[in-house]
Structure 1
Amino acid sequence: MTKQSFSEELKHLRKLWTGFMPSRVLLTANNLRVFDHLTTECAPKELSGKLKTDQRATELLLDALTAMGLLRKKKGRYKNSRISNRFLVSSSPHYQGNIIRHAHFLWQSWSELDGVLKTGRPVEAEREIESFIKGMDDIAKLRCKEVIDRIPLRGVRKALDLGGGPGTYSMELAKRGIGVTLFDRPETLKIAKGLIKERAIDGIDFLAGDFMKDPIGKGYDLVFVSQILHAYSDKENIRLLRKIKGALNPGGKVVVQEFYLNSSKTAPLWGALFSINMLLNTTGGRTYSTSEIKGWLKRAGFKTATSKRLDETVIIIGK
Structure 2
Amino acid sequence: MTQDRAPAVDRRQLLTMMSAVRRTGVLRAGVDLKVFDALADGPADADAVAAACAADPRGTRVLLNALAAMGLLETDGDLYSLAPGADSVLVSTHPEYYGDAVRLAASDYEWDAIKRLGDAVRNGGTVMEMNAETPSYTFWEDFAALGTLNTQPVADLVAGELLPWPDLTRDEVRILDVACGHGFYGYTLARNEPRAQVWSLDWPNVLTVTEANARRLGVHGRAHFIPGDMFDAPLDGPYDIVIVANVLHHFSTERATGLLRRMANALRPGGKLVAIAISTDGGRPADDPVPHLFSALMLAWTSEGQVHPISAYEDMVTAAGFSRPKLRTLPHNPLRVLTADRL
What TM-score, normalized by structure 2, do the two folds share? 0.82
Show the counterpart of 1:175. 191
Task: Name the amino acid aligned to 2:263.
Answer: I
Partner amino acid, structure 2, of 1:184: D
Match of 1:235 in 2: 254
Contact 1:306–1:316 (CA<8 Å) still a contact in 2?
A: yes
Distance in 2 (alpha carbons) for counterparts of 1:223 and 1:7: 46
Q: Is the 8 A contact 1:163 1:225 kept in 2?
A: yes
In structure 1, C-alpha distance between the alignment counterparts of 2:161 and 2:153, rounded to whole Å? 15
- Correspondence for 1:131 among 138, 142, 156: 142
Mapped partners of 2:155, 2:6: distance in 1: 44
Provide the rounded CA distance (Å) in 2 between the counterparts of 1:6 and 1:193: 48
SS at match of 1:90: coil
Q: Contact 1:307–1:316 at 8 Å: present in 2 too? A: yes
Tell which deviates more after alignment, 62-71 or 186-195: 62-71
Q: Is the 8 A contact 2:143 2:182 kept in 1?
A: no
Greater CA deviation, 24-33 or 141-150? 141-150
Match of 2:175 in 1: 159
Find the aligned partners of 1:206 and 1:268 in 2 and give their Cα distance: 37
Give the aligned residue type for 1:201. V
CA distance in 1, matches of 2:323, 2:296: 32
Distance in 1 (CA, whole Å) between partners of 2:192 and 2:36 is: 35
**Structure 1 residues 166-175 or 83-92, which shifts more?**
83-92
Instruction: Report the equivalent of 2:310.
Output: 290
Mean Cα deviation higher: 144-153 or 290-299: 144-153
Larger RCO: Structure 1 or Structure 2 (Cα < 8 Å, ≥ 6 residues apart)? 2
Which of 169, 192, 195 matches 2:213?
Answer: 195
CA shift digits 1:65-94 (9 cap, x unpaired): 223332233342223345433233333333
Mapping of 1:91-130 within 5 angstroms?
Answer: 91-102=93-104, 103-105=106-108, 106-122=110-126, 123-125=128-130, 127-129=137-139, 130=141
Q: 1:15 to 1:137 in 2, by over 3 A?
A: closer
Query: Matched residues in 2 for 1:168 and 1:45: separation?
Result: 41
* 1:7/1:275 CA distance change after superposition, 3 Å: closer
Residue aligned with 2:274, SS: strand
Gaps of 5+ in 2: 132-136, 168-172
Moved more, 48-57 or 254-263: 48-57
Deviations 1:144-190 (A, max 9, x none): 32343244653272211111111112221111123222221111110
Measured in 2, the distance between the counterparts of 1:143 and 1:69 equals 30
Percent same amino acid among aligned pairs? 26
Letter matched to residue 51 of structure 1? C
How many residues align structurally?
A: 317
Q: Which amino acid aligns with 1:216?
A: L
Aligned to 1:29: 30
Is 2:271 aligned against 1:252?
A: yes
Match of 2:235 among 213, 216, 241: 216
Is the contact made by 1:98 and 1:132 (CA closer than 8 Å) also made in structure 2?
A: no
- Flag structure 1 segments of 5+ consecutive residues without an equivalent: none
Q: Show the counterpart of 2:55.
A: 53
* CA displacement, residues 239-271 of structure 1 (integer Å, 9 cap, x when unaligned): 111111111111111011111112368362111
The answer (yes or no) to whether the contact 2:326–2:339 under 8 Å persists in 1 is yes
Q: 1:306 aligns with which of 326, 337, 341?
A: 326
- Does 2:156 match 1:145? yes
Deviation of the 1:277 alpha carbon: 0.8
Q: What TM-score does the superposition give when structure 1 sets the normalisation length? A: 0.88
Task: Give distance in 2, aligned partners of 1:186 and 1:59.
Answer: 43
Q: Which residue of 1 aligns with 2:134?
A: none
Which residue, out of 45, 65, 86, partners 1:84?
86
Deviation at 1:282, TM superposition (A): 0.9
Look up the equivalent residue of 2:123 and give its one-letter code: T
Of 211-220 and 13-22, the range deviating more from structure 2 = 13-22
Please say if residues 265 and 272 of structure 1, whose CA atoms lie closer than 8 Å, have aligned partners that are also in contact.
Answer: no
Structure 1 residues 237 and 6: CA distance shift in structure 2, 3 A: closer
Is this contact kept in 2: 1:231–1:285, CA < 8 A?
Answer: yes
Q: CA deviation at 1:306?
A: 2.0
- Cα–Cα, structure 1 residues 206 and 6, in superposed 2: closer, same or farther, change >3 Å? closer
Partner Cα separation in structure 1 for residue 214 and residue 90 of structure 2 = 22
8 Å contact 1:87–1:96 — kept in the other structure? yes
In 1, Cα distance between the equivalents of 2:340 and 2:227?
Answer: 25
Letter in structure 2 aligned against 1:112: R
Pair 1:6–1:258, CA change in 2 (3 A): closer
CA contact 1:167–1:196 (8 Å) conserved in 2: yes
